[in-house]
Structures are given as C-alpha cells and as structure tokens.
Amino acid sequence: MNDHLRTSKAGLNLIRSFEGLFLTAYYCPAGVLTIGYGHTNMDGVEPRVVKGMKITQEQAEDILRRAIVPYENAVKRLVKVPLTQSEFDALVSFAYNCGIYNLEKSTLLRKLNKGDYDCVPTELMKYVTAKTKKGRVTLAGLVRRRKAEGAMWALTKHLGMLKGATTGEPVEAGDESDEEPMAQDVAAPPTGSVEKTIATVTSAAPVLSFMAGIDWKIVAIVAASAVAGLALWLWYRHNNHA
C-alpha cells in the first residue's frame, strides 16, 4: 500500500536536524554508543560503533541513507492505511529515534490502522522521556522533536487547506493527487530551521482554515463589480468636466 514511499529530502533533513552530526562516537543521554546522524548498533547496519571511532561527513551521510531503510520498511509493513509523503516521513523519523518495537506496540499504530489519522500528533507526545543515570526524565529535545514530527504529519492537511483556498476545491489529507512537491526539493537546513519552518506552517493553520472557507467566486464578483463601478464613476466625472 505504501511500498512506493521513501523518506523525502524534507524527512531526512528533519532527522539530521534533531540527531545532529557527530563524527566521533559518543554516548547519547540514554547511554547508547552513537555516531554520525544518530547511528547505533541497534540499526543493524555497518559499521559497528565502537568507543573512540571516527568517521567523515561523507561516511555519515552514507550510513544514514542505509540505516534509514529498516525503519522505512517497518513503517511500510506495520501501517495498514494509506500514507502521504509527509505522514510517512514523520513516522520514519519517530521509528528511527524511538525504535521499531515502540512503533509496533504503540497505541498510535493501533489507532492509525483503524483510520484515526488525527490521533498521531497527540500520541507522538507520549514519547518524550528517556532512561538516564537519574532515572527516566523528560528531555526538551524529545519534546521539540515530537512536536516537529506531529507538525510534519499534519503538513499534508495544511497544504490541502492552502490549495483549497486558492482553487476553491479543498483537498483531503489522504488525496493521492497531492504530490507535495514542496516536500521533495528542500535543501539541507541549519540545525533547528526544520523545527521553525514546520512550526510556522502549524501556526498558520487557523488562517488557512479560514481562507479555505471563503467562497472565492463571490469575492471575485464583488471585486469586479467594484472595479466596474469605479470606472463608470471616473467616466461620468470626465464627461461632466469636459
């Protein structure tokens, strides 16, 4: 059903933005040895991360491209309803960060497979804690990431509102005609810019919703009538002062 999907440039940029680039192996807040863009031995992709390991940026990019594949395949296997590109990207980012097991056993997946698309942003926010030496704590970085993934999930819906506002024909979030070209040609941003961009789209949702409810044909008729009236008034004044 979703076999044709691969993580888009926007999706990869979201992952890069939150994972950060580390060319020397380090221990993440959860105590897992990590390198590159969040690559760990749990990915099942070479190279195996060892203490003191160093890589180049080119190697980090190659590892990310290969390491993301098992998570893409997991989303395709587990999700039984159609996904748009931005929805797929959001779930791959979540699985890459939290693990395939957490996605598979989640209430999020159960509800989504019953057709509850709107539950996803709220369900994502349940995954904002990590085990540390001080016990399980809420991490601000995870809160920001879950919000960004939730906003990316809703991106199709918001773009549909905007399309409806300009054409007069609202597009549903699951409409296969929505190819989302904006999500395919995004250059890699500085860290944090993905969050700001997605947050901007999310905050604009009420405005887009208002615009989508306007009958633009009536607006066009009113505007044309106003222009015609102004032209007639100018013609009248010109003839009476000639």
pLDDT, tens digit, for every residue of 217-226? 544 554 665 6
119 among known catalytic residues? no
Residue 19: inside a domain: yes
Residue 241: inside a domain: no
What lies within 8 Å, CB to CB, of 130 at 6+ separation is 29, 30, 136, 137, 139, 142
Evaluate if pTM is beyond 0.85: no
Extract the tokens encoding 62: 């190659």
Query: Which domain covers residue 72, as residue numbers?
Result: 9-203
3-state secondary structure of 127: coil
Give the residue ranges of DSSP H helices in the chain. Answer: 9-19, 57-67, 69-78, 85-98, 100-104, 107-112, 120-124, 140-153, 155-167, 193-203, 205-212, 216-240
pLDDT, tens digit, for every residue of 13-52? 999 999 999 999 999 887 899 999 999 998 889 999 999 9
19 among known catalytic residues? yes
pLDDT, tens digit, for every residue of 108-130? 999 999 999 999 999 999 999 98
Considering 19, 72, 87, 123, which one is annotated as catalytic? 19
Averaged confidence pLDDT in the chain: 78
In degrees and rounded to multiples of 5, residue 132 shows phi and psi of: -130, 180
Residue 233: inside a domain: no
Average pLDDT over every residue of 210-231: 52
Considering 28, 61, 98, 119, which one is annotated as catalytic? 28
Count the domains in the chain. Answer: 1
Residue 238: inside a domain: no
Extract long-range pairs of 196-203: CB within 8 Å, 24+ residues apart. Answer: 198/14, 198/148, 198/151, 198/152, 198/155, 199/147, 199/148, 199/151, 201/151, 201/155, 201/158, 202/151, 202/154, 202/158
Residue 224: inside a domain: no
Residue type, 53: M
| CATH code assigned at 61 | 1.10.530.40
